[in-house]
Structure 1
Amino acid sequence: MTEKGGQVMIKHANIAIASTGYSMGWTAPINSKLTDPVNSPLGRPATTDEIAWMGSLLNIGAIFGPFLGGFAASKIGRKWGLMSSAIPLFIAWIMVAVASNMPILYAARIIWGIAVGMLFTISPMYCAEIATDDSRGALGSFLQAFITLGFLLVYGIGPFISYHVVAYVGLVFVAVFAVAFFFMPESPTYYLLKDDREGAAECLGVIRGRSRNGVEAELNLIASDVAASMERTATIGDVFRGSNFKAFYISCTLVFFQQFSGINAVLFYMTDIFKASGTSLNPDIATIIIGAVQVVSSFITPLVVDRLGRRILMLISSCGTAIGAGLLGMFFLLDHNDSPVVESISFLPVLSLVLFIVTYCWGLGPLPWAIISELFPIEVKAVASPIATALCWILSFLVTYFFPSISNSIGMHVGFFIFGVCCVGSFFFSLLVLPETKGKSFQEIQIMLGGGQKPEKA
């Protein structure tokens, strides 16, 4: 079973991630239903300001979710921490299904965000701890791939079914995850942290598809790392010391560039972008095309990341997103200035978005999460990862809330030019600062971050 077994388990875990993609992409087809003056499920059309708040509030919940997720992962385990994320997902979908006013939708979006924050904290941790060193990047990259599956599903069915059926599908999605993941094993690292070597051996045997003797050597290596980590108790202060701080600022910088590439502004307001471009292509159909492109491109990264490495994919991704954002900015600048050229290049937004999203899915989307799960030692991970994840969603809130305001006041082109500049910054950060973790064990990564020195014991 080995790597294949790990892939099966991670795919089961990432059904929940696909569900969050469905939740995050929900605004794209639903905004037009809520603003419909005749058929709005609220009994009245939602205002532009209400739509902007609804698109942003998921990020508020996601700021707090990582701390709840980190606590759950430490206290009840990675598996049950992931399982517990189904509770807020269920609650939020029920609220969406019965919503009769905007405050209920606001609350549902915040509760969704809590689940998203939990999953984005625990899922990379679980993936990293059950993967082998030479498959960790591939298995960690599935997070982005499954998000895009969720996006594609809601893009594909949302425009053509009723508001309430979209919510019922969301409920079914969460139920499938809860049932499928119930039968998955716990992370062996968690068992070792609880001083249960037999439990760790049993679940590692299930993951690798081997006998107890067949996993003993790997179990000894994991136990050695865990034993070293248990000699130290990490606090928030430890995050800002030595190699931990280097891992922390790399992680925070990666999530900054991920969010300020502009991806969430593009995804949350994709239909509106197509309408603003004046393209003859139906915006709903264009959104489905983009969703399909996301899925295909996202499943490329797991196939190549452990061969090419993290850095080269981040360089390609940053370059491609910079060009895509720049072209979008140029198009909307011409449109803002009423240039006669606009009509003849109405294809450019679709082309630019395809380039942007394809290259984003190759690097800036999946790799920050995979790299964050690799950089921190075990005892620091539960403290540092929630902080980096919360920062991600703070930045996402800023982007999704202020992008429409910038677009309406000074032009959509300004936002895309800002995103393009940030993508250029990501390119140089990846080139000059980002360490290559391909094929390295957790201990080797810590030695590399420490400048070739083994990390000191606290």
Structure 2
Amino acid sequence: MSSNQDVESEESFRQDKITEPLINHGKISATENDGNSKGSISVVLLSTFVAVCGSFEFGSCVGYSGPTQIGIMDDLGLSLSEYSVFGSILNIGAMIGALTSGHIADFIGRKGAMRISAVFCIAAWLDIYFSKGALSLDIGRFSMGYGVGILSYVVPVFIAEITPKNLRGGLTTVNQLMICCGASVAFIVGTIVTWRTLALTGLIPCLILLLGLFFIPESPRWLAKLGKKEEFEVALQRLRGQDADIYQEAAEIQDYIETLHNLPKAGIQDLFQKKYARSLIVGVGLMAFQQFGGINGFSFYVSEIFMTAGFTSGNVGTISWACIQIPITALGATLMDKSGRRPLLLMSATGTCLGCFLTGISFYMKGHELLMEWVPILALAGILVYIGSFSIGMGAVPWVIMSEIFPINIKGTAGSLVTMVNWFGAWVVSYTFNYLMSWSSAGTFFLFAGVSAATILFVASIVPETKGRTLEEIQTSMNY
């Protein structure tokens, strides 16, 4: 009995030490522990909006090459090979950005990382606008890739770290929704304006992001990790509302951070410890399957695919692609915290497998001159099934899960590795897509269908459900 009392006293003392700074600074009261206080998520929504301007920029960069291929090749006299370099070099820059993203976000904060990304993207768009040849185009595209490589990591991590657990899935999915919006706007506007004018439109989300960062708080978890207790308290109170009771959440975060401070600083080699194995397999696996399923081949060369399938113009298919992405990604965002992550992934991978198979069948029929009047219809149906299915799950959920599964002591290093894998896959697919199509159009899409089938097996056997759990609960269950 005496031993139990001692343990309870020690636990009480530990909790008092965790919450004492909050009480002393007047952010909560000792009696405000009943959970009845009401908060507001307005600052969370504002912060999410500012952050996803970076996601919109990401989408604008990825979608830029789709509608501009013919215009750039004609105006600057580029060969197909030179344009393939231009389209794919974005991913090389993004890989380097991904490698440095975690360290930058950990060193200067999530907001600081977003500022650096915006500056790189602004410089890149101006370089492309004034380009006179392939070299300047490639430099601009490479710089753009570096910027979005950082954004692709830091935006979902920032959103996951500022949102309450019951909203985290939906709000983190807004990241993917805005990527789709950026790509869709680029596709549609690119059919109307010249490629130089389209480059100027890419400046708009960067400028909004830079301005908005002055009005939102930094990630409380990052501030807590650095030991900035007062700033942590202020940021968390702003995000939850001035009338909110942050006692329990602050105590959990501080307790978890104190546990992590007792661990050695993680390097790249530490990621391969047995206790992190499942998180690493899940994070790397989802990103690899997302990219090797063919999404960047589809999005970078969508106009060319439709014309190859028999459409007189790629614009009809391109606009259809753009219009279907946004509402279905929005649907996925609403389902994220209701149906969960795993069901969306399984449904999405099944749909992308079907979409790739239908598209492969259409090209097979064209190659063998079978039912030629059905070839464009099957191609359109397959591609729209593919992008609709990708948008509802495989587009967003891997980024959500990536932001949830790694403890904060290895989040920077692990996030950099996982994001680099994503961009490496994007580069491989975007660079080889034209060559694969020259080898076998039907075979290319059957190959992507096979990857989607493997994704179903991977999700069913390895990927955990993270819906409705705090970040600390998820990470403890997976890594300790």
Verify same fold: TM over 0.5. yes
2:452 matched residue in structure 1 = 423
Q: Work out whether residues 57 and 179 of structure 2, in 8 Å CA contact, stay in contact via their aligned partners in 1.
A: yes
Q: Are the aligned partners of 1:14 and 1:142 in contact in 2 as well (CA < 8 Å)?
A: yes
| Corresponding residue for residue 446 of structure 1 | 475
Contact 1:61 1:111 in 2 (8 A): yes
- How far does the alpha carbon of each residue in 1:107-159 deviate from its partner, in whole angstroms, 9 at most, with x for none? 11111111111011111211111011222111111111000110111111112
Higher Cα radius of gyration = 2
Please say if residues 201 and 216 of structure 1, whose CA atoms lie closer than 8 Å, have aligned partners that are also in contact: no
CA distance in 1, matches of 2:327, 2:202: 22
Query: What secondary structure is seen at the aligned counterpart in 2 of 1:99?
Result: coil
Question: Which residue, out of 210, 223, 242, partners 1:210?
Answer: 242
Do structure 1's residue 382 and structure 2's residue 420 form an aligned pair? no
**Equivalence for 2:440:** 411
1:375: Cα distance to partner? 0.7
1:265, 1:415 → 2: CA distance?
10
The answer (yes or no) to whether the contact 1:290–1:354 under 8 Å persists in 2 is yes
**1:80 matches 2:80:** no
Identity %: 28
1:318 to 335, 341, 349: 349
Aligned position for 1:292: 323
Unaligned runs of 5+ in 2: 1-38
Q: What is the aligned partner in structure 1 of residue 8 from structure 2?
A: none
Contact 1:321/1:356 (8 A) holds in 2: yes
In structure 1, what is the equivalent of residue 162 of structure 2? 130
Moved over 6 A (4+): none
User: What's 2:365 paired with?
Assistant: 334
CA distance in 1: counterparts of 2:458 and 2:449, whole angstroms: 14
| 8 A contact 1:83–1:182 mirrored in 2 | no
Partner of 1:303: 334
User: 1:146 aligns to what SS in structure 2?
Assistant: helix
- Could you tell me which of 388, 402, 415 is aligned with 1:358? 388
Q: Does 1:369 align with 2:383?
A: no
Aligned counterpart, 2:173: 141
CA shift for structure 1 position 177:
1.8
Shift, 1:105, TM fit: 0.7
Q: Distance in 1 between matches of 2:376 and 2:189?
A: 26
1:180 and 2:212 correspond: yes
Is the contact between residue 66 and residue 389 of structure 1 (CA under 8 Å) also seen in structure 2? yes
Which string of whole-angstrom CA distances, capped at 9 and with x for unpartnered residues, describes residues 291-329 of structure 1?
111011111111111111110000000100000001001
CA distance in 2, matches of 1:172, 1:141: 22
2:277 matches 1:245: yes
Q: Deviations over 1:362-390 (max 9, x none)?
A: 11110111101111111011111100100
- In structure 2, the residue matched to 1:35 is 73
Map of 2:377 onto structure 1: 347
Tell me how far apart the structure 1 counterparts of residues 228 and 298 of structure 2 sit (CA, whole Å): 46
Say which SS state the counterpart of residue 363 (structure 1) adopts: helix
Contact 2:58 2:152 in 1 (8 A): no
- Tell me the CA shift for residue 420 of structure 1: 0.3
**2:137 paired with 1:105:** yes
Counterparts of residues 128-277 of structure 1 (less than 5 Å): 128-211=160-243, 214-232=245-263, 233-277=265-309
Instruction: After TM superposition, give the deviation of residue 216 of structure 1 in Å.
Output: 2.6
Distance (whole Å) between structure 1 residues aligned to residue 375 and residue 69 of structure 2: 27
Conserved? CA contact 2:350–2:453, under 8 Å: yes
**Correspondence for 1:115 among 147, 162, 166:** 147
Alpha-carbon deviation of 1:338? Answer: 2.5
Contact 2:359–2:382 (CA<8 Å) still a contact in 1?
yes
Q: CA deviation at 1:6?
A: 2.0
2:58 counterpart of 1:20: yes
TM-score by length of 1: 0.93
| Cα deviation code 1:333-387 (max 9, x no counterpart) | 1112222x12234211111111111110111110111101111111011111100
**Alpha-carbon distance between aligned partners in 2 of 1:416 and 1:33, rounded to the nearest angstrom:** 27
Q: d(CA) in 2 for partners of 1:219 and 1:378? A: 15
CA drift at 1:435: 0.7
TM-aligned CA deviation for residue 3 of structure 1: 4.2
Amino acid at match of 2:365: L
| Whole-angstrom distance in 2 between the partners of 1:46 and 1:420 | 32
Distance 1:264 1:344 in 2: 25
Q: CA RMSD in A?
A: 1.4
Distance 1:81 1:157 in 2: 29
How far off its partner does 1:4 sit? Answer: 4.8
Code of the residue aligned with 1:275 in structure 2: it is M
Asked if the contact 1:69–1:81 (Cα under 8 Å) also holds between the matched residues in 2, the reply is yes
